[in-house]
């Protein structure tokens, strides 16, 4: 069992629901980063068959296994997909020095419509400056289901985040998020390790929920616009991304509310009145 102190907080979980991503800079220590790089340079790492419990993958000695077994990483995994998820696949993404092209923007395997979601952990074992490209993600895009490369003709999006980071940084992504590998304009190879994990339990209150009630009781804070109040869940889920339309991302906010209800079981949860108004379908006829 993961120690509670390593689990995500309610605020982090709300950010994941809103943006489809969480970023952890310089989380993995340098000795593991260096060992992972050496294992990549030595010819790669062995994958388990799809559907293998993660705990049975990467037996020691394995630098990638060491990274995945860090309590901080276990806490992220447990909070998002629960204990001992299944290994789906992994990939060592390599961008060659001075590579002439970038990967098209895409979503990975948008072939199901479940509320349940897989995560993809991306691990950057060396520094990634902007000229090295980095992985590009579009925060908040995870509920806009697109089929693979359907959007590849688009090169840039308002609010996009290039993963410029120090060695040992981790991105935890909802499987639906739009992303691509950018062009590497340096004379060094760029590595990124990705692993996709499938949950085997209902994704229900898996994070540290000690502050859940306090973090969701605050509709009042939205309306009073108290600048000193810490952002509560409603505030986090109501925050727009630069690519949202002028009306403030109605579709995104409704989808965020649906996901928050799914994760918490709180069927009355709402941000302002967005989802509640859609549920008002009166059946009562007036007497003639
Ligand atoms: Fe991808």
Q: Are residues 226 and 190 in the same domain?
A: no
Q: Are residues 152 and 32 in the same domain?
A: yes
* Full-model pTM: 0.93
Q: Are residues 131 and 51 in the same domain?
A: yes
> Which of 152, 176, 198 is where one domain is finished?
198
Question: Residue range 23-50: average pLDDT?
Answer: 95
Distance 191 CA to ligand 1 centre (A): 14
Q: Are residues 176 and 237 in the same domain?
A: no
> How confident is the model over 262-274, as pLDDT tens digits?
999 999 999 989 9
Distance 23 CA to ligand 1 centre (A): 17
Question: Residue range 190-208: average pLDDT?
Answer: 97
> Which of 163, 198, 233 is where one domain is finished?
198
Confidence of residue 226 (pLDDT cuts 50, 70, 90): low
Q: Which two tokens stand for residue 56?
A: 């049975």
* pLDDT for res 247: 74
* pLDDT for res 133: 85
Q: Are residues 112 and 18 in the same domain?
A: yes
> Which of 198, 227, 249 is where one domain is finished?
198
Distance 223 CA to ligand 1 centre (A): 39
Distance 137 CA to ligand 1 centre (A): 10
Distance 154 CA to ligand 1 centre (A): 15
Distance 128 CA to ligand 1 centre (A): 18
Domain, as residue range, for 161? 4-198
Q: Are residues 143 and 252 in the same domain?
A: no
Q: Please report, for the domain that includes residue 113, its CATH number.
A: 2.60.120.620
Distance 197 CA to ligand 1 centre (A): 14
User: Is 203 inside any structural domain?
Assistant: no
Distance 254 CA to ligand 1 centre (A): 26
Distance 27 CA to ligand 1 centre (A): 22
- Domain tally for the chain? 2
Distance 275 CA to ligand 1 centre (A): 31
* pLDDT for res 228: 66
């Amino acid at each position: 069992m993961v120690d509670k102190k390593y689990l995500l907080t309610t605020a982090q979980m709300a950010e994941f629901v809103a943006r489809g991503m969480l970023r952890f800079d310089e989380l993995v220590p340098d000795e593991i980063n260096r060992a992972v790089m050496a294992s990549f340079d030595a010819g790669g790492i062995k994958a388990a068959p799809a559907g293998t419990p993660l705990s049975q993958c990467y037996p020691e000695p394995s630098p990638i296994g060491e990274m995945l077994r860090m309590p901080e990483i276990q806490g992220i995994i447990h909070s998002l997909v629960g204990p001992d998820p299944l290994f789906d696949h992994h990939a060592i993404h390599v961008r060659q020095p001075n590579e002439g092209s970038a990967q098209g923007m895409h979503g990975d395997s948008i072939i199901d419509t479940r509320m349940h979601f897989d995560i993809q952990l991306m691990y950057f074992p060396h520094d990634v400056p902007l000229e090295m490209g980095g992985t590009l993600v579009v925060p908040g895009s995870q509920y806009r289901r697109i089929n693979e490369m359907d959007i590849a003709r688009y090169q840039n999006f308002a609010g996009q985040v290039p993963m410029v980071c120090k060695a040992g940084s981790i991105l935890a992504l909802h499987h639906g998020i739009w992303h691509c590998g950018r062009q590497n304009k340096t004379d060094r190879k760029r590595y990124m390790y990705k692993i996709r994990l499938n949950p085997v339990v209902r994704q229900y209150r898996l994070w540290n929920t000690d502050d859940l009630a306090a973090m969701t009781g605050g509709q009042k804070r939205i309306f009073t616009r108290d600048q000193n109040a810490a952002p509560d869940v409603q505030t986090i889920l109501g925050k727009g991304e630069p690519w949202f339309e002028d009306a403030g991302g109605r579709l995104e906010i409704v989808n965020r509310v649906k996901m928050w209800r799914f994760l918490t079981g709180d069927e009355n949860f709402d941000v302002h009145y967005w989802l509640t108004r859609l549920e008002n379908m009166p059946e009562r006829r007036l007497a003639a």
